[in-house]
Structure 1
Amino acid sequence: MDSILTNPKYHDIFSILKGFRNGAVYGARIRFPHALVMQVLFGTGTIEQKFKRITEATIQHSRNLAFFVTIYKTLMVLQRRIKGREDSADSFIAGLIGGYFIFGDDNNINQQINMYLLSRITFGIAKMAVKRGIVPEPPHSFPIFAATVWGIVMWQFRHERDVLQSSLQSSMQFLYNDSEVFSNLGNWLWRNR
């Protein structure tokens, strides 16, 4: 088997298969602890219901990432084989197609993943603009960025709450609104309600 794995003729196929495996493993590694913590802190229902939600979220994240990696790597291989080279736009095209089919369903897991990526690429675009000399690096850019992000999210939570993702709404409800509700030492100090 080792000789097949190291044979350049089969490299692309094994790379795609390992990409599927790595997507599944990474998705589970990322989602399981997040889902566990969210269910322990904010989940309602029985232990069985919480475990079911943890398992479903982990499987969905793992499956989505595994299939996205597979589609992306397959399309990259196909484009390279058709043209005999890789062009700059190839990764964008492969990501666009994979993103549409795998992360295009509007559900909580995909919302979180897409928002995570949006924040990272927005930051990356700003850094690219500075790196390429398109804009000068503004002084105090990170504090201005942080102030803008927090100002917008707090305004949205206060005045347009329904536009925020449900897990963010729950977290902010706990932090800002539930801290307004207490009637005795017990629900002021160690119990939320």
Structure 2
Amino acid sequence: LVEAAFFLCSYELSIRSVHSPWCFLFDKSDAKVLEYQSDLKQYWKRSHGHVISSLSSCPLFHHIFRTLDKAGRPRRSTDASPEPASILVGHAETLLPLLSLLGLYKDETPPTASNYQSQHGRTFRTSRIVPYAANLLFVLFDCQRGPRLQLLVNESPVRFPGLQAEDAPLYRDVRAAYRHLLDGCDFHRECEGRSGGRGPNTEL
């Protein structure tokens, strides 16, 4: 009931821009605890908590890099121009596993039910990573030394793990950083091999 009341407060505030009567039940410290509770759920269900969660995005990961490979391929003057954009639509449940597969927002110490007090500076905050209208952009630039790739999360530049020196590193360097996934990350093999012993999902 406490969680339901907090959601009513949050939804009315974010959707209708009204100060819901439900909000009077909570102070700022309550909100932080309930935010952490939500982050715990998403971390262990759809993000870095279990490897299989991020590996569920293998097909999407390969699709993205096939599209980038095609766009960055050298062309002759007689070749048709590449598509200016490839747009895919999904949900937060689509983005979180993919962001995890890319190695983003992974804190040194994972959040647990017992370390709330030490997690105030965590980067894994779903309210900031996957808010309403969350988006992930891969922008490929045609540069003199070769194509460069910039990553943006919710229109803000984010640097690739292991390539922190540049906002838009060479595309070949990005591919090299993710070589282990490009050469592997087989959805069927990973999911079939890790599904044993899992019980039914009883979450409401």
Scaled by the length of structure 2, the TM-score of the pair is 0.26
Q: Which has the higher helix share?
A: 1
Decide which structure has the larger Cα Rg and report it. Answer: 1
Scaled by the length of structure 1, the TM-score of the pair is 0.27
Q: Which has the higher strand share?
A: 2
